[in-house]
Amino acid sequence: MRISQLFGKTLREDPADADTSSHRLLIKAGFINQLVSGVYSYLPLALRSLKKIETIIREEMNLAGAQEILLPTLQPEEIWKRSGRSVAFGETLFKLKDRRDRDLVLGPTHEEVITELVKGHIRSYRDLPVNLYQIQTKLRDEARPRAGLIRVREFAMKDAYSFHSTQEDLDKTYDGMVSAYQSIFSRCGLDVRAVDADSGAIGGKDSQEFILLTDTGEDEIVLCGSCDYAANMEKAQSNIERVIDDTKGGLKEVYTPGIKTIDALSKEFHVPQTKILKSVAYVADGALVLVMIRGDLDVNETKLVNYLGAQNIHIATDVELREEGLIPGFISPLGLEGVRVVGDHSVVSEVDVIVGANREDYHYTGARHGFDFTIAESIDLNRVQEGHECVECGGKLTINKGVEVGHVFKLGTKFSETFGATFLDSDGTEKPMVMGCYGIGVGRILGAAVESNHDDKGIVFPKAISPAQVIIVALNTDDATVDAAANLLYETLIGQGIEVIIDDRDESPGVKFADADLIGIPFRATISARSIKNGNTVEIKNRMDGNDQLIHLPLDDVGKIIEAVT
């Protein structure tokens, strides 16, 4: 690969519309080009990285016993209606019609298609298990594409689907996929953490996300500082410190004009927020639900949705509250009738608390659970906060940002039952296949890798996914000796199977060095009039080191040069 002929130029100035590091650098270094929102062209350097990532994925998937296939992008909407996911995906599903006015969708994922496929090919438990994967373009009309390759509408994804006769057999394959994923990410040179995840509306018991920790990530991850507990915020649990307090004031109604927030109550009464009961009203599938939670905590809406089994929830508007006779800012479970009340387990306490009075401008003080009010349904509904105690070991939890680069699910029989993907078991009975699914975002790995591997000069590629191992920077290209030496090294390294780029442009040294740093190839080999004069040498620099860390090697010792750049 000669930079003089390379399609795709580096930019000298930062692109205006990119403010996350990976987005900015991938455009600036000439890797990607946006066509419309969330849709990119991949130029030669990017494609090289993507192919490397794909190769690593293929090798590990094959090793784990999965077989590669390729499924259609264009799919009949009918199968999406059958699975109920035409509605579930909603606007995210790209829809179109063919010339016969038939409804089609562009596949955002392939559970429906694969289940139909396998249904037609597997009849007996003897044919199971199978694990099929593909690397395919997926299309999702995301509400808001963002951050370059991190969240796009058209993207390459590796997805695998496994089919089993028993749950235990699924468990085995699932574990195998988890360890294959760990190999994939570690071979890519990325520090990816597996975390427990909520399995959402798709159902199924186990689910793990694979997260690359980076500050610009859009997912929140809870990690324990003392053990290996790791969970997605939606799923994370914690032990909440109990509040100990002996004061028993007795229930009193107090005039609190205009004091509607936990913060204001805390200041007014000079009490910690832990001694105030927060009332949060939701509308879940059309019905009002009051959620009670300790004042210092927030509601985890995913936990609430899962507990209620609701399709949709939203925080009740003031209008919706007044319709039910509730007074915004002064809501209370005391004396409330006809409204379902659920509580986070933090409300079950021995402590006197302040709570609304269901009356404009009044609160109660000295309210006690079990005496003045009782919340029958109390379960874990709170959002973990920084510093909470780990449920596994009692250590301190931290909240971290990250990018989801992989996700594995135990699907169970949801799809096989819907599509009639059954098999004849050894006992002669017909059973639905037990399924698992396993996804990895290929482009997203590239984006996330750059996000977590760069400095102020540019990208710093992990070796395994870099477009090349070494970039030869030839200075003084009009000097025939330099030119010949650089080209000889280029050809020799290619002959030895080293992936090498040569910057053979007639540019000033500053431009070449800056571009080499920007593109982020792990090793730079500089050949110049100076290095030739200096004992016919080449200067090797590791991209991760500072500029003064140079190794001088004789040009005729190719073995040493290869050793230095691999």
Under the rule (CB under 7 A), what is the footprint of RNA? Answer: 9-20, 23, 34, 36-38, 85, 88-89, 92, 108-109, 142-147, 151, 159, 200-202, 218, 301, 407, 409, 437, 439, 457, 475-478, 506-511, 513-518, 526, 528-531, 539, 541, 547, 550
- Kindly list the distances between the CA atom of residue 458 and the CA atoms of 28, 114, 237, 453, 516, in Å, as whole numbers in the listed order: 9, 41, 38, 9, 9
CA pair distance 286, 292, nearest whole angstrom: 19
* 3-class DSSP state of 95: strand
Which phi and psi angles does 296 have, rounded to 5°? -85, -5
Collapse the DSSP code of 57 into the 3-class scheme (helix H, G, I; strand E, B; otherwise coil) and give the result: helix
For residue 252, the minimal CB distance to RNA (Å) is 36
Given its phi and psi angles, is residue 416 left (phi above 0), alpha (psi -120 to 50 degrees) or beta?
alpha
CA 76 to CA 95: how far, in whole Å? 10
CB of 511 vs RNA, minimal distance in Å? 4
Note whether 540 and 565 are within 8 A (CB). Answer: yes
- Residue whose CB is less far from RNA, 15 or 395: 15
Q: CA–CA separation, 185 vs 221, rounded Å?
A: 18
Residue placing its CB nearer to RNA in the complex, 511 or 544? 511
The 8-class DSSP code of residue 160 comes to E
Least distance in angstroms from the C-beta of 256 to RNA: 29
**Minimum distance, C-beta of residue 428 to RNA, in the bound complex (Å):** 34
Of the pair 1, 550, the CB lying nearest RNA is at 550
DSSP helix/strand/coil, 288: strand
Q: How far is CA 182 from the centre of its chain?
A: 15
Minimum gap (Å) between residue 198 Cβ and RNA:
8
Evaluate whether 423 touches 434 at the Cβ level (below 8 Å): no
Closer residue to RNA (CB): 19 or 318 = 19
- Counting Cβ atoms within 10 Å, is residue 420 exposed (0-12), middle (13-18) or buried (19+)? exposed
Structure token digits, residue 129: 């298990």
∠ CA 101-106-109, nearest 5°, is 140
Pairing mode, if any, of strands 103-106 and 94-97?
antiparallel
For the CB of residue 202, give the shortest distance to RNA in the complex, in Å: 3
Bridge partners of residue 343, in order along the sequence? 292, 378
Between 405 and 518, CB nearer to RNA: 518
Min CB(476)–RNA separation in Å: 5
**Given CA atoms 48, 50, 52, 55 in this order, what sign does their dihedral have?**
negative
Q: What is d(CA 39, CA 50) in angstroms, rounded to the nearest whole number?
A: 16
Q: Which is nearer to RNA, 220 or 425 (CB)?
A: 220
Contact call for residues 229 and 238 (beta carbons, < 8 A):
no
Give dist(CA 535, CA 65) in Å, integer: 53
Tell which residue, 61, 14, 256, 279, has the closest CA to residue 177: 61
Q: Please state the closest distance from residue 125 (CB atom) to RNA, in A.
A: 27
d(CA 32, CA 22): 11
CB of 38 to RNA, least distance (A): 6
Identify the sign of the CA torsion 257, 263, 266, 267: negative
**Nearest distance in Å: CB 205, RNA:** 14
Closest approach of Cβ 138 to RNA, in Å? 9
Q: Please say which residue, 425 or 479, places its beta carbon nearer to RNA.
A: 479
CB of 269 to RNA, least distance (A): 30
Nearer to RNA among residue 168 and residue 478 (C-beta): 478
Nearest to RNA of 185, 423 (CB atom)? 185
Q: Minimum distance from CB of 435 to RNA (Å)?
A: 12
Cβ-based nearer residue to RNA, 3 or 390: 3
Contacts of 70 (CB under 8 A, 6+ apart): 134, 136
DSSP labels, 389-447: BPTTT--BEEEEEEEEEEEEEEEETHHHHHHT-EEE-TTS-EEEPEEEEEEEEHHHHHH
Token pair recorded at residue 195: 């975390």
**For RNA, which is the closer residue by CB, 312 or 426?**
312
Q: Name the residue nearer to RNA (CB basis): 330 or 438.
A: 438
Report in angstroms how near the CB of residue 553 gets to RNA at its nearest: 13
Nearer to RNA by C-beta: 271 or 281? 281
Closer residue to RNA in complex, CB, 159/352: 159
